Every structure is written in structure tokens, then in C-alpha cells.
Amino acid sequence: MEESGFLPHSHKIGLWTHLDFHLEFHGDRIIFANVSVRDVKPHSLDGLRPDEFLGLTHTYSVRWSETSVERRSDRRRGDDGFFPRTLEIHWLSIINSMVLVFLLVGFVAVILMRVLRNDLARYNLDEETTSAGSGDDFDQSDNGWKIIHTDVFRFPPYRGLLCAVLGVGAQFLALGTGIIVMALLGMFNVHRHGAINSAAILLYALTCCISGYVSSHFYRQIGGERWVWNIILTTSLFSGMTACFLVGQFRNLEHIVEPELESK
């Protein structure tokens, strides 16, 4: 089965009727054996009706080759290509991504620490040095973080929308983490049609409580009173945006297929 695309999803079904056996031997001992179907084009089963019979002839071929290896090695199993490549975990790519994230976080932290250290150094200057006319005459209230110190603890104007976005973000963080953990544990089989999609829908339903808790918790902390509207906004934020996106894509598809609709 060959799968392609996500939305829309399509797949092709093929049947291999030829098997190629590859055997390696050393003396009177078989060291390695493998069966593959890579060199033969499969018969397509697309469009085959359930009540339709298809006559096929199954064949096979055997290739013997002598090797200098005296003992069988199980590590060669993954080098042959019989197992799907999508099941392999690319640990090097994961490590590179994690190192890049840690470096970016470290750079941002260093920059922020330097800025804060410079501001604190300016605010802690000796009053005698300032009053002596050293040339560093400045107004402490108009520099650095003191410019925005009154806005730090001020409630935002759209507190309900902010809490809803925080809740949905926490839900999707838990959803993505769950899918990644399930993939690393090998719970997804590439031959199962739509396994990841089904798992994503199930995890989305199970993690709805996370979005509700996070949103209501922050909404209560900032003094929100219309908690019913906050719950409704949190519930319908992602689904409403998805519905609007699908409607927009459908309208764009209509204009592409039927250009005369644009003039009406």
C-alpha cells in the first residue's frame, strides 16, 4: 500500500507476485537470508470490485552468494531495506534540533541578563558621583525597564481572548508531546491506514480538559468575571478558526474551478 498526502488523503494498493530470495552461505552454513519484492512492479488492485476475480501467477527466484563472514549478525537485518524506513528514529536530527533550541534560549537569556545588569548598574550609581557633575546627568525615571514598570501589572484589554489562546496553546502542546511520545515508543504502524490521524483526534478530545483548566485558571487570576463566555471562547477558538479556514479554502476552490463565479 502506498499512501500520499494528508488532506485529501489517497492510497494505492498493489500485489507483488514475485519474491526474490537472497541467500548468503559460508561453507555448509547459511549466514544470511532475505526476501524482497523491490525489483518487480506490483499488480495494481485499484478499482477492483469485491465480486471480481483476478487470476495471478506467483513466481520466485533464488540468488546464492558466498561470503567470508562465518557467523550470522543480527545487525544486518536493518540494513537490507525490508523494514520500512519510516519506523527508524532519526536520533541525530532530534539531537541537532534540541541543541539548536538550547543555544537560542541561552543566547536570549544572556542578552536579557546583560540588559538588566546595565540598567541596575545605572540605577545603583552613587548619588555623590551624580551630584558632583561627572557628565552623566540623566533621569532615572526615563530609562530602562522603569519606562514600562506601570504597564507590567496592568490587565490586558482582551483578557478573555488572551486566556483562551493560552488554554488552546497548552492543549496543543500536550497534544504534540503525546503524539511524539507515542511515535518514539513505536505505537504507530505505517501499514495501518490513518493511525496517526485517529490518535490525534483521540488525544485532542482527551486534552480538552487541559485547555479549559489553563484558560479558566488564568482568567480567574486576572480578575475576569464573564467566565461563561471565556469557556465558550476557549472551546470554539480552534474549531471556529478551522471551520473558517475550511470554508475559505472551499470558496477559493470554487473560484479556481469555475472562474465565472468571480463576476457574479
Q: Which pLDDT score, from 0 to 100, does residue 86 have?
A: 47
**Are 160 and 149 found together in one domain?**
no
**Are 146 and 215 found together in one domain?**
no
Residues 6+ apart with CB under 8 A from 43: 14, 15, 16, 17, 54, 56
Residue 216 burial by Cβ neighbours in a 10 Å radius (0-12, 13-18, 19+): middle
Q: Which pLDDT score, from 0 to 100, does residue 108 have?
A: 93
Q: Which of 38, 39, 42, 40 is nearest to 56 (CA)?
A: 42
Mean pLDDT of successive 10-residue segments in the chain (264 residues)?
54 79 86 78 74 80 86 55 51 85 94 83 63 51 64 77 88 90 78 77 88 88 81 80 71 66 51
Q: What is the DSSP string of 109-155?
A: HHHHHHHHHHHHHHHT--HHHHHTT-S----GGGSGGGGSTTTTTSP
**Are 216 and 204 found together in one domain?**
yes
**Are 149 and 204 found together in one domain?**
no
Q: Where in the sequence is the domain holding 126, given as residue range(s)?
A: 91-154
Give dist(CA 212, CA 201) in Å, integer: 17
When divided into structural domains, the chain yields a total of: 3
pTM of this structure: 0.49
**Are 163 and 249 found together in one domain?**
yes
**Are 197 and 253 found together in one domain?**
yes
**Are 251 and 162 found together in one domain?**
yes
Q: Which pLDDT score, from 0 to 100, does residue 174 have?
A: 92
Q: Which pLDDT score, from 0 to 100, does residue 154 have?
A: 76
Distance of CA 93 to the CA centre of its chain: 14
Domain boundary among 112, 132, 154: 154
Contact (CB, 8 A) for 34 and 82? yes
Domain boundary among 113, 132, 154: 154
Task: Name the 3-class secondary structure at 33.
Answer: strand
